[in-house]
Amino acid sequence: MRNRESRAALLFLSPAIVILSVFFFAPVIAGFLLSVTDFDLYTLGDVHNLRFVALRNYRELLANPVFWTAFVNTLYFALIGGPLTVAVSLFAALLVNSKLTRFKAAFRTIYFAPVVTTLVAVALVFKYLYHPRFGIINIALGALHLPQPDWLGDPHFAMPAIILLAVWKGFGYTMIIFIAGLQNIPEELYEAARIDGAGAWKQFRHVTLPMLGPTFLFVGIVTAIGQLQIFGEPYVMT
């Protein structure tokens, strides 16, 4: 019986194992092997041009100041954009999941729409919104007699501007995950908290947040991975 169950489990797992092996593990291993060589276009014509250089590429990378600038910028983006994305998605999930909210399906669709929108199209739209002279944002600031910065041209404002775009683009995905986590919290816990005199804030603090622990872990990992892989937004916008 155990052997039969093991074979059945392996049969069901085999498609995922094959896909992960072909599209994840094999490319990772191949990428590492290429990183310890001097692979270039000439190697495609004759494999004998490939030479083993050990860790030379890594030493040159670590000695390059541009690498450290990019590393610091990526950490800045992830440490600010990641928690902000989680906070916004949780807030949106609480609003959509509230008993007082009507047309929940419509709001879920609206909030999730940016996730499935083409990144290049969204980045171009935001690029025009951030335009220093003709962008809607600076026009509104000018009407309020407030400073009108060069959002994408000023190093002090470029990163926050891109972070706002990334948060708007990606919070819908994690919002759906938070909604699923909220719907799995037993209603009896909230009833018990209300009987004990807990208000809305105490229910959120002592019931909602602890019960969302596994969801926070998953969302945090997924968000961190996405933030550390940032490339398209700054490349298109700047």
Expressed as residue numbers, the domain containing 38 is 1-63
Same domain, 94 and 194: yes
Look at residue 89 in the predicted model and tell me its pLDDT: 93
- Percent of the chain at pLDDT > 70 equals 99
Q: Are residues 73 and 136 in the same domain?
A: yes
* Residue at which a domain ends, from 15, 37, 63: 63
| Count of the separate structural domains present in the chain | 2
Last residue of a domain, one of 63, 95, 110: 63
Asked whether residue 98 falls in the same domain as residue 69, the answer is yes
Which band of pLDDT confidence, cut at 50, 70 and 90, is reported for residue 91? very high
- CATH assignment at residue 191: 1.10.3720.10
CA distances from 139 to 75, 126, 147 (A): 32, 14, 10
- Report whether pLDDT(86) > 90: yes
Tens digits of per-residue pLDDT, 187-208?
888 888 888 888 888 888 888 8
Q: What's the rounded mean pLDDT across residues 111-125?
A: 87
151-169 pLDDT, tens digit per residue, is: 888 888 989 999 999 999 8
Same domain, 70 and 93: yes
Whether residues 78 and 170 share a domain: the answer is yes
Please check whether residues 124 and 143 belong to one and the same domain: yes
Picking from 31, 46, 63, the residue at the C-terminal end of a domain is 63
